[in-house]
Amino acid sequence: MLSEIQYPSYEDRKDPCGKPEIVGQYLLKPEREEEGWEWKKKISTLMENVREVVHDLNNPIAAIILCGQLLAAKAVDPETKEDLEKIVRQAERASQIVKDLAVFAKRSNEEKECGRQAGMMRRKEGTYAGCSFSWEKLKEMEDNGAEFWTADNLSLLRIVEIDEKQKSIYIINQTGKITWPLKYQKLEEVHEKVHSGKVAFTPSEIDKLVPTWGTYIVGLLKYLGCDKVLP
């Protein structure tokens, strides 16, 4: 005779501190803040996979339940009938887990969409509270000789020249090396993608948008307060 397996319900699962917490809430709370961006990226990918799995599992689970019920109804031997009923119960339990995952994935997608819309609204209003990024601010930094660190804190930088016609900036490091011009349009594009959550605020991710500029741009945006108002 089959023995019935008991699995913990969502309500019974606990976080490391022993507090009951559903899986969704637990997954979306990384222990260390600096891992937040990579964590959110992984969660987003995971949710896409969950939606695909939910879709693929629904039909076979429903077929197992239906066939099990039909076989149990026709079964003459009591022991066989009981085993079939246990199979049906476990399949129904699996079906409920799939439904819970579907709700979780949908909620996660809705939260992501809300964050995206909030980012669009902030861009439409042209402001991010606590972030001073603007063309005028960059010109002010050049006038004042303001210095800022690279993302890895290994080199001190400053904007050494502003090209108004091309709307570009030149940055010099502490060894006296001057960069190629960085167009404000490209910098603005990176800034908006960082605040909208489309790109992680890390040098490696910024490098994908502006090759070799990642550590400089992250350092500059941190100086301007962008890291304090990330989505």
Q: Are residues 66 and 155 in the same domain?
A: no
Q: Are residues 54 and 108 in the same domain?
A: yes
In order of 2, 70, 128, 156, 198, the CA distances from 80 in angstroms are: 10, 13, 66, 76, 55
Q: DSSP label at 156? A: E
In a domain, 130, yes or no: no
User: Average of pLDDT values for 152-162?
Assistant: 93
Hey, what are 19's tokens?
Answer: 């507090």
Of the residues 124, 145, 168, the one at which a domain ends: 124
Per-residue model confidence as pLDDT tens digits over 9-26: 444 444 444 433 333 333
Q: Are residues 107 and 67 in the same domain?
A: yes
User: Average of pLDDT values for 150-175?
Assistant: 92
Helix (H, G, I), strand (E, B) or coil at 183: strand
User: How confident is residue 7, by pLDDT bands cut at 50, 70 and 90?
Assistant: very low
> What is the pLDDT at residue 74?
87
Measure the N-to-C terminal CA separation of the chain; round to a whole number of Å.
54
H helices present in the chain, as ranges? 23-27, 36-74, 78-125, 135-144, 184-196, 203-209, 214-223
Counting the structural domains of the chain, the total is 2
For residue 105, the domain's CATH number is 1.10.287
Contact 2, 87 (CB under 8 A): yes
Of the candidates 140, 142, 231, the one whose C-alpha atom is nearest the C-alpha of residue 178 is: 142
Q: Are residues 120 and 41 in the same domain?
A: yes
User: Average of pLDDT values for 192-200?
Assistant: 87
User: Average of pLDDT values for 147-153?
Assistant: 93
Q: Are residues 101 and 14 in the same domain?
A: yes
Of the residues 96, 124, 152, the one at which a domain ends: 124
Of the residues 124, 152, 174, the one at which a domain ends: 124
User: Average of pLDDT values for 107-118?
Assistant: 58
> What is the pLDDT at residue 108?
62
Tell me which residue range forms the domain holding 188. 135-228
Q: Are residues 25 and 112 in the same domain?
A: yes
pTM of this structure: 0.47
Of 24-38, 113-127, 193-207, which one has max mean pLDDT? 193-207
> What is the pLDDT at residue 34?
46
d(CA 168, CA 105): 43
d(CA 227, CA 231): 9
- Compute the mean pLDDT over every residue in the chain, rounded to the nearest whole number: 77
Of the candidates 69, 61, 67, the one whose C-alpha atom is nearest the C-alpha of residue 94 is: 61
Residues in CB range of 126: below 8 A, 6 or more apart: none
Amino acid at 178: I
Per-residue model confidence as pLDDT tens digits over 58-106: 888 888 988 988 998 888 888 988 988 999 999 898 888 888 877 777 7
Helix (H, G, I), strand (E, B) or coil at 130: coil
